[in-house]
Structure 1
Amino acid sequence: MLRRASRLLFEIAVLIAFWWVGGWIATRTGLPLPGGVIGLALLLVLFACGAIRPALLQGGAGVLLAEMLLFFIPALMSLLDYGPLLRSEGWKILLVITASTVLVMLATALAVEWMCHWRSRHESR
Structure 2
Amino acid sequence: MSDSFLSLKRLLQTLLQVGLLCLLALSAQWLVNILSLPIPSSVVGLLGLFGLLALNWLPERFVAVGATWLLGELLLFFIPPVVASLHYAPLFEQYGVSLLLTLVLGSICVLLITGVVIDCVFRFEHRRNRRKSELAATTQSTRVGH
TM-score, normalising length from structure 2? Answer: 0.60
1:44 corresponds to which letter in structure 2? F
C-alpha separation in 2, matches of 1:72 and 1:40: 19
Distance 1:108 1:88, change over 3 A: closer
Structure ID, larger Rg: 2
Which portions of structure 1, spanning 4 or more consecutive aligned residues, are displaced by more than 3 angstroms? 88-91, 93-98
**Contiguous gaps of at least 5 residues in structure 2:** 135-146
1:87 aligned to which of 70, 83, 97: 97
Distance 1:13 1:96, change over 3 A: same
In the TM superposition, what whole-angstrom CA distance separates every residue of 1:53-88 from its partner, at most 9, and x where no partner exists?
223211111122222233222101123224133424
**What is the total number of aligned residue pairs between the two structures?**
122
1:40 aligned to which of 40, 46, 56: 46
C-alpha separation in 2, matches of 1:20 and 1:30: 15
TM-score, normalising length from structure 1? Answer: 0.68
RMSD of Structure 2 on Structure 1 (CA):
3.6
1:11 aligned to which of 17, 20, 25: 17
2:106 corresponds to which letter in structure 1? I
Deviation at 1:40, TM superposition (A): 1.3
**Contiguous gaps of at least 5 residues in structure 1:** none
- Percent of matched pairs sharing the same residue: 27
